[in-house]
Structure 1
Amino acid sequence: MSFFTSLSGLKAAQTDLNVISNNVANVSSTGFKKSRAMFGDLFAAAPTQATKTVAGQGVRLTGITQQFTQGTLQGTDKTLDLAIAGDGFFTVKGQPPRQDTNYTRNGAFSVNQNREVVDTVGMKAQLLPVDANGVATSTNAADMFDFVVPDVDPTDPAALLTNISINGEGVVSATFSNGNQVNIGALAVASFTSVEGLRPVGDAHWQASGDSGPALINQAANGPLGQIRSGSLELANVDITEELVSLISAQRNFQANAQAIETASTLSQTIINLQV
């Protein structure tokens, strides 16, 4: 039995090492959120058995929990580099034909050849309609639309775009050469009942799941949602010193379980070699 108990410990230590290694590897990934492996003990006994004479049977992985703490904001001075200071996720939609909806903290947006504002994997940023004062007129996901940078003033085709600005509430304003300023929309920011239940899909993107609950869409700086910081990016929330300490601890756990297997093997070999 000691072989299988120690084997479960080896597997647990290996999983812990994998999780920590992934955190360390993504220390420079924009919008990355670290994870932590959670473990529980294994114990089994019959209803009539005295549990004081029963040893545990090892350890098992109960889950890998994501840590959605705030990462450090780094200034870039690029208007379309966006970060959320607080809770919430940018809402992005994929290109046809799938057009799946993802949620991300990586606000490194840029403009593609179709003048669509896209993230690092080409998914389109989503906006909510706003009134003249920049207040969202709808928070329904069905009313979201693609963030497209206009090239001319809709009311004056001769007036060219001169500037795009995004305020703390995520309102996107376009200024044209004729002096007109138009609110295009507000960035659609999502929150979830249980962010730990989000399903990671890579590139600092997540999808809603049954565990996370449906996305609650709103304008930034409303309810639990944080403010938008234009000209900034959120760095990974990985503390490299903390991860290295955890890495040493996981390595020691692995070595201890390996030593337990070696000891059990030595004892078994000694018993086999006993001569009557």
Structure 2
Amino acid sequence: MPFNTALSGLNAASLDLQTTGNNIANANTVGFKKSRTEFAEVFANNVFGSGKATPGSGVRVTEVAQNFSQGNLDFTENALDLAISGRGFFALTDNPDGQPTAFSRNGAFQLDKEGRIVNDQGKYLFGFRKDFSQGALQVETAKGQPQASDDVKLNVNLNAADTTPINAFDPTDPTTYNQASSVTVYDSLGNPHTITSYFVSQNPTTANSWDVHQYIDGTTDTLGSTTLAYDTNGTLVSVDGDTTTTEVNYAPYAIDGAEDLAITYNFAGSTQFNSDFSVNSVSQNGFAAGDFTGLEINDKGVLFARFSNGNAEKLGQIALARFQNEQGLSKLGNTMWGESSLSGERLMGVPGENNLGTIQSGALESSNVDLSKQLVQLITAQQSYQANAETISTENQVIQTLLNLR
């Protein structure tokens, strides 16, 4: 029996050494979670019951438990290097339209030839696509689609001291208008067009009133005209006599080969003070076609494709998984785990919600192994192994003594 007891100690210590050695070997493995060996006493009962003087029968390993504590974040310059700050796992699938089959904290991802996000083993990163379906996330690097302008916001200050020019308005003659301002807009094909607004004061004939003539692509094609009226405090009070709006909707302007350009001009915030003419702000909502310039992933796991036209297109959102019992996950290797009956069913969600961590793009989660502690544990396991070996050696000497009795 003493041999069996010592042998159980040797086996347990050997497994402890293996576990500690595995932790040390993976100290630099991205997303690795350290393990510890847990032991329990073996006690044999006989049919007559056990007495207080009955010794134990050795030790056994009950579990090699993993520690899923947070590892440090190592920052990189790759947008597809992803780290989870907090709870959760990346969900991985074997085919683009399949359900998750593995889960990992290793966020070292890359693009395959079709633009899908994959890990080193070729498994696809699972998430919520922009069409609201679920499956492998894909980065579309095609040229960004143009968007036609349909809204222009122009906030100006018009000089209250200006008066009506002597001659009738002529866009080709600067002496027939007081000020001018231009903005670039885009049609449905992404072609740029310039709209120039010419401001003509009606003072003193009509105090605090301005005519605005707007031409597109030069001085021959007019987009339309409107009249702005201000009160005695210099605040815009009406557009074309309508006191309920600051906007004017121009009739669609025909463009060869593209959709008609229908522009709404908004003069909200415009003023008339006795100061120089100024354009406080001008903006429009169209843009030309653009080239893919990069990928951005925010802390909620939302993927944005950035284009040279300044547009950002949402491509989808990373899904994270969590489990009621992380210790029950089955180990698949390659820093991946699988769902099991002990772990419970996966609970899927988006980063930052439902008790899930957030995403850090351009970073990787390093191993949570503390080398100094593991080296101490290695010494402890070694001593345990040597002590159990000494037990066998001592028992052997006792038996040899008995055999040598005459």
Aligned 1:76-225 pairs, distance under 5 A: 76-95=76-95, 101-129=101-129, 143-153=133-143, 155-156=145-146, 159-225=290-356
1:98–1:90 CA distance, 2 compared to 1 (3 A): closer
Q: TM-score, normalised by structure 2?
A: 0.62
Q: TM-score, normalised by structure 1?
A: 0.90
Secondary structure of the residue aligned to 1:53 is coil
Which string of whole-angstrom CA distances, capped at 9 and with x for unpartnered residues, describes residues 128-177 of structure 1? Answer: 1469xxxxx6xxxxx42211110225745953322211111111111223
Gaps of 5+ in 2: 147-188, 190-288
1:97–1:174 CA distance, 2 compared to 1 (3 A): closer
Q: Distance in 2 between matches of 1:244 and 1:98?
A: 42
Q: 1:210 deviation in Å?
A: 0.7
Q: 1:259 deviation in Å?
A: 0.3
Pick from 367, 372, 385 the counterpart of residue 236 of structure 1. 367
Contact residue 95 and residue 124 of structure 1 kept, 8 A: yes
Contact residue 95 and residue 122 of structure 1 kept, 8 A: no
Gaps of 5+ in 1: 132-136, 138-142
Contact residue 91 and residue 104 of structure 1 kept, 8 A: yes
Q: Does 1:257 align with 2:378?
A: no
Q: 1:182 deviation in Å?
A: 1.6
Q: 1:77 deviation in Å?
A: 2.0
Secondary structure of the residue aligned to 2:71 is coil
Which string of whole-angstrom CA distances, capped at 9 and with x for unpartnered residues, describes residues 59-95 of structure 1? Answer: 0111110110100101102111000010100111124
Contact residue 85 and residue 227 of structure 1 kept, 8 A: yes
Identity %: 40
Amino acid at match of 2:295: I
Question: Which structure exhibits the higher relative contact order, with contacts defined as CA atoms closer than 8 Å and separated by 6 or more residues?
Answer: 1
Amino acid at match of 2:77: D
- Which segment is superposed worse, 204-213 or 122-131? 122-131
Secondary structure of the residue aligned to 1:186 is strand
- Which segment is superposed worse, 97-106 or 181-190? 97-106
Give the match for residue 184 of structure 2: none
Amino acid at match of 1:37: T
1:130–1:116 CA distance, 2 compared to 1 (3 A): closer
Q: 1:108 deviation in Å?
A: 0.6
Give the match for residue 43 of structure 1: 43
Q: Does 1:24 align with 2:14?
A: no
Q: Distance in 2 between matches of 1:50 and 1:163?
A: 72
Contact residue 144 and residue 188 of structure 1 kept, 8 A: no
1:74–1:207 CA distance, 2 compared to 1 (3 A): same
Secondary structure of the residue aligned to 2:106 is coil
Amino acid at match of 1:121: Q
Q: Which has the higher helix share?
A: 1
Aligned residues: 265
Aligned 1:54-69 pairs, distance under 5 A: 54-69=54-69
Contact residue 99 and residue 135 of structure 2 kept, 8 A: no
Q: 1:51 deviation in Å?
A: 2.0
Give the match for residue 8 of structure 2: 8
Contact residue 33 and residue 369 of structure 2 kept, 8 A: yes
Q: Distance in 2 between matches of 1:144 and 1:67?
A: 30
Which string of whole-angstrom CA distances, capped at 9 and with x for unpartnered residues, describes residues 9-63 of structure 1? Answer: 0000000000000000000100000111111001122364342121100001111
